[in-house]
Amino acid sequence: MNKDPQNIFFITDMDGTFLPSSKIPLECDLKALENFKACGGKFAFATGRIFQASYKYLELNIANAPCILSNGSMIYEPIKKEVLYCEYLSKNALSAVQFIYENFPDVSVEINTPDEILVCRNNDNEMKHINTVGFRNWREATIEEAVEKTLVKVLFAGEKEAIDKLTEYEKSNPFDCGEFIRSSEHFFEILPKGVSKGSALKRLREMSPKNTYFVAMGDFYNDSEMLKEADFAVCPLNAEPDVKKICDYICQRSCEDGAAAEIIEKIIGESRFGGKNHGFRT
């Protein structure tokens, strides 16, 4: 099946997939994307980052199509600078947030609201996160103040052992108030119920022309639902082993040396996708 690049919508995770550890986009990826867009291709990000942590990349005009933010709870149109869709946590999540705050003292609680980021019980992992993503407006707050706000998502940050403990607790004692997801070794998140990057990709599919072919790229567990929903799933060499298992193509390059450029070169150079398990898989 030949696929014209004009019908291809390439959507990629940011951290660990498109962005290397420096958080500065690679020149080879940017050049490949310019070639892809010049051929009529659509490109977007699908990230766990909220808008306040994504804006500096959105303002670079890298993306020319609606982006998935907050692990699926927001769809943002970067050209028109419009929010096309946003889902909020229900009030039922507040008791879970307070319980975790009280019973997991080694974990910081980051409350993401539409207007600001509130941090309860800051720690080193949270500060590294804040400095890495470059939040525009954040402040420390009490848990009582934070939970009174409208919540987009809640992020818990801590050492790997503390987040492991929290993750295992939630698996054994699930809170029926939202979607809990491990987004990195140091982060555990609550999203609105039914929300994931996969659910957001379904919405993008509904918004797009019927002949749109979605190529999705990701490296971590919070990318899994999006990769399953895509027409063609890709991951960088540095992806988690379980993520590699669900992908159609595993890049020979990692996020540090141009995995995005590798798949774009295949799209432009070969423009041939046969659905699941065609010959690109390694």
Going from N- to C-terminal start, the domains of the chain cover: 5-87+195-270, 93-191
Q: Tell me the whole-structure pTM to 2 decimals.
A: 0.84
Pairing of strands 108-112, 153-157: antiparallel
| CATH code matching the domain that covers 93-191, chosen among 3.40.640.10, 1.10.600.10, 3.40.309.10, 3.30.1240.10 | 3.30.1240.10
Q: Which amino acid is at 231?
A: D
CB neighbours (10 Å) of residue 104?
19
Intrachain domains 5-87+195-270 and 93-191 with the same fold: no
Nearest to 18 by CA among 52, 51, 40, 48: 48
Q: What is the pLDDT along the chain (282 residues), one digit of tens a residue?
A: 357 889 999 999 999 999 999 999 999 999 999 999 999 999 999 999 988 889 889 999 999 999 999 999 999 999 999 999 999 999 889 999 999 999 999 999 999 988 889 999 999 999 999 998 888 789 999 999 988 899 989 999 999 999 999 999 999 999 989 999 999 999 999 999 999 999 999 999 999 999 999 999 999 999 999 999 999 999 999 999 999 999 999 999 999 999 999 999 998 875 444 433 333 333
> Rounded to a whole number, what is the largest CA-CA distance in the chain?
56
Alpha-carbon dihedral 262, 267, 269, 275, rounded to 10 degrees: 110
Tokens linked to 277: 């398990």
| CATH code matching the domain that covers 5-87+195-270, chosen among 3.90.79.10, 3.40.50.11540, 3.40.50.1000, 3.30.1360.200 | 3.40.50.1000
